[in-house]
Amino acid sequence: MAAMPPHSLLSFGMFLNLNGFAEKLLSNETSARWLFRLTSGVEISTEGGNISTVAGKLSLPLKPFTALESLFHEIQFSCSEGIDLRTEAIELGIMHLLITCLKIFGHLEPFISIDQNSVGKPIASAIYLEKSRDHDLYYMAKGTGFGTGSIASNWDVDQLLIVQQIEESHINAILNVITSFLEYDKSTYLSLDTRVKDTISTILKKLALLFKESNFVVFINNCLRNDSVLDIAHHIPMYQSLLNVVRNIAKWPTLIPLLAPDVTSSEGSDGVVDFIKNLKSCIEIYLGRLRPSKKGTFKNGDKMIDEEDQDRKNIASLIPNILTTLEIVENGIASYRNVNEDMPTLVNTNADINEEQHDGDSDQNYVAKMRSLQFDTYCITTETDENETIFNVRYHYASAVRSAIANGSDSGSSERARRLAQEAAALSNSLPLSASSSVFVRCDEERLDIMKVIVTGPSGTPYANGCFEFDTYFPPEYPNVPMQITLITTGNHTVRFNPNLYNEGKVCLSILNTWVGRPEEKWSPQTSNFLQVLVSIQSLILVSEPYFNEPGYERSYNTPHGQQASLEYSANIRQATVRWAMLEQLRNPPSGFEDVIQSHFAMKRSEILKQCQNWREEYEDIVKNHSKKASKAFVNSLELLKKHINKLQEELKKL
């Protein structure tokens, strides 16, 4: 990003037309002088030093915004001078420009001007073009993938984080300007006559139109619906600013409809209230996971974290703001609804779903039933009085845990403890859940670094409705190295369910550093997390044609040989899925997942039986009418499939 980025330069020029802005800017003569020199293309100060270095890389481009924030804050909405100032800001297109910049930094589509003659459109285009050029150099890594055959990349995670920091500083500055624009003294406002209040209402209606047309509230919702504490912890100032904006919007009845859910929307928006509640829940779960035990150490086995730990304090500092904002928004919506009976009713997505309302919709019933089973703790280990760790269930990494305890590395670091708490908080709210495929996690009651996972096979794949068990261990070096994960559902090491899932349990993924990939696909301590790994397994490994996951085999995808090989491969996977991911799981459900297995197969019984029947009929048709495709291996897979289906039917009858 340039020393004086285009949006700062354009904003500075527009703000100078605003009454009182120049005086406010000149209140700090030194920074004002540096700013004027920088906007003129001069990067050397009168003292001979580099202006950006002397003033700080972030401060000068933000100076126009901080000065405007100070001006709005000093001259509040509830006085006549404040009304004139805000009217001028609307008419000059300043608020239009600010919201445009916010959208671009929020990586939404470029702003489309409401008024074709407005100054907003060319400004937005200029900024967007500049951002498009930046996009060629910096982009967000996916963090997942198998590799592309090339390990060359110009992606630099450190540079990416610097760019994100700069962008976020501008987002915060703009949000703070909007907050100060909306601030008012309530007692003064109540004393105003009706004519003045009507003038204020007119200004706010124009602002509401800008918010609505620019999808400003969509930007707010996208940020607030974030349930990754790991990500939230890196952006505390932005979340404080977001909550401040929401709180001030909620104080104005004219703007309240922007925050209410639109139940008529085809997307079924839930409104800001539910997003704030979810944000609060995530943070409380995280802080609860960090609570020390009676021994003075954290339950995950890591060394004790000082109660004054700054990272924890920063996250905890959001709670008062969240509670205050939530109360103001709920009260504002309730008050508005009392006056406007046709206002949409709030939708509470966290409320228990009445299954009787969805008797005709098995998918919704499944999601409603399984949601509460997704994340939980289980007594995987027990610590004896002699400080010996006993494993109560089969766990692949038991020896690795004991070895870490023996050599003294098990305590890890405070950073590891924080990250584990953040991972647990994110998993408790973010795990994939659908009738097609879901993920379930059990974390040890005493140690956050020990987890077990069930992934249900996605519909339309040879893994459909099977339950695949994985063991996960976060080693002492985490997050500098990825977690370790092993497939347990291997038919006693007899089945290789996928080219990326070995029969000994190895999971090959770039993000786990177990497969060659581009730098942006590999594990990054700053940007990667366990949820990405789980989604990668679910969507990149458990696919409809797993044969072509084998490196090089994709070249035969559209060839007769490739399709025949894929057919035989999937036939074997299907029979193995029925045998080991269905039948065996019903007979011997993994410890901690008994309720998941019982509920999954009970609710999916009819679907699974129909699915198995379709598989059998499809293969019988191939054997009967397409004998050239029916190799000896294929016929053998069919016979095994029929055998396993018969046994599965008997087990399902017991549910």
Dist CA 245 CA 251 (whole Å): 10
Closest CA to 454 of 289, 583, 591, 603: 591
pLDDT single digits (tens) 568-589: 999 999 999 999 999 999 999 9
The pLDDT-based confidence of 30 (bands split at 50, 70, 90) is low
- In single-letter form, the type of residue at position 379 comes to C
Please check the confidence at residue 616 and state whether its pLDDT lies above 90. yes
For residue 173, how many C-alpha atoms fall within 13 Å in the half-sphere facing its CB? 23
- Output the pTM of the full model: 0.67
pLDDT at 498: 96
Intervals of CATH 3.10.110.10 along the chain: 355-653
Please check the confidence at residue 172 and state whether its pLDDT lies above 70. yes
Please check the confidence at residue 641 and state whether its pLDDT lies above 70. yes
Range with the largest mean pLDDT of 454-458, 511-515, 621-625: 454-458
Task: Identify which has the larger pLDDT, 401 or 317.
Answer: 401
DSSP 2: -
The pLDDT-based confidence of 387 (bands split at 50, 70, 90) is confident
User: Which of 223, 467, 508, 612 does the annotation list as catalytic?
Assistant: 508
* Measured CA angle at 399 (ends 397, 404), to 5 deg: 95
Secondary structure (3-state) at 355: helix
The pLDDT-based confidence of 296 (bands split at 50, 70, 90) is very low
Instruction: Determine the average pLDDT of the residues in 380-388.
Output: 88
Range with the largest mean pLDDT of 14-28, 96-110, 145-159, 263-277: 14-28
282 is catalytic: no
Across-strand partners of 585?
none
Helix axes 6-15, 59-74, angle to 10 degrees: 30
pLDDT single digits (tens) 458-510: 999 999 999 999 999 999 999 999 999 999 999 999 999 999 999 999 999 99
pLDDT at 505: 96
Which residues, at least 6 apart from 79, have a Cβ–Cβ distance to it below 8 Å? Answer: 188
Please check the confidence at residue 128 and state whether its pLDDT lies above 50. no
Task: Identify which has the larger pLDDT, 155 or 643.
Answer: 643
Strands 375-378 and 439-444: parallel
DSSP 384: -
Query: What is the residue-averaged pLDDT of the chain?
Result: 81
Q: Do residues 563 and 542 lie in contact, with contact meaning Cβ atoms separated by under 8 Å?
A: no
The correct CATH number of 355-653 out of 3.65.10.10, 1.10.1740.10, 3.10.110.10, 3.30.930.10 is 3.10.110.10
Instruction: Determine the average pLDDT of the residues in 375-402.
Output: 93
Burial class (CB in 10 A: 0-12, 13-18, 19+), 422: buried
Task: Identify which has the larger pLDDT, 163 or 606.
Answer: 606
Secondary structure (3-state) at 259: coil
Q: Do residues 104 and 128 lie in contact, with contact meaning Cβ atoms separated by under 8 Å?
A: yes
- Residue 310's CB is within 10 A of a number of other CB atoms, namely 8
pLDDT at 489: 98
Dist CA 31 CA 619 (whole Å): 77
Instruction: Determine the average pLDDT of the residues in 392-410.
Output: 92
Instruction: Determine the average pLDDT of the residues in 528-534.
Output: 93
pLDDT at 325: 93
Task: Identify which has the larger pLDDT, 620 or 41.
Answer: 620
The pLDDT-based confidence of 52 (bands split at 50, 70, 90) is low
Range with the largest mean pLDDT of 272-276, 305-309, 448-452: 448-452
Q: Which of 283-292, 356-365, 610-619 has the lowest mean pLDDT?
A: 356-365
The pLDDT-based confidence of 439 (bands split at 50, 70, 90) is very high
Q: Do residues 346 and 259 lie in contact, with contact meaning Cβ atoms separated by under 8 Å?
A: no
Q: Which whole-number Å values give the CA distances from 551 to 141, 374, 404, 520, 548, in the listed order?
A: 22, 33, 35, 19, 7
DSSP string, 108-124: -PPP--SSTTSTHHHHH
**Cis amide linkage into residue 499, ω under 30° from 0:** no
Please check the confidence at residue 162 and state whether its pLDDT lies above 60. yes
Closest CA to 579 of 467, 456, 503, 487: 467
Q: Do residues 92 and 10 lie in contact, with contact meaning Cβ atoms separated by under 8 Å?
A: no
